[in-house]
Amino acid sequence: MISIILPTYNEASNIGIIISRISKTLKNSKYEIIIVDDNSPDGTADIAQKLAKKYPVRVHVRKNERGLATA
């Protein structure tokens, strides 16, 4: 299994694109995408949760912003 961890902050306009591209690239592999959102105010986590219905996505929202490097 391949696990891809995506740290995010205010990526609402990009998250669907990147998840779709990862899924196309890994379509013949067993994989998961783990979104670690740094409490984005733009709804990134909500969009990722909706995408989890179609793709193997798990979303973890950190309520205290700690920066992307700590994801």
Query: What percent of the chain is predicted at pLDDT more than 70?
Result: 90
Q: To the nearest whole number, what is the mean pLDDT of the chain?
A: 92
Residue 66: per-residue pLDDT: 64
Question: Is the CB of residue 35 less than 8 Å from the CB of residue 57?
Answer: yes
| Cβ–Cβ under 8 Å, residues 50 and 22 | no
Does pLDDT of 38 surpass 60? yes
- Domain-wise residue ranges, the chain: 14-32+42-56
Flag the least confident range among 11-20, 42-51, 57-66: 57-66
What pLDDT score was predicted for residue 64?
Answer: 72
Q: How far is 15 from 43, CA to CA, in rounded Å?
A: 10
Q: How far is CA 19 from the centre of its chain?
A: 7
Residues 6+ apart with CB under 8 A from 11: 18, 40, 42, 44
In this prediction the pTM is 0.84
| Cα 30 from Cα 69, distance rounded (Å) | 26
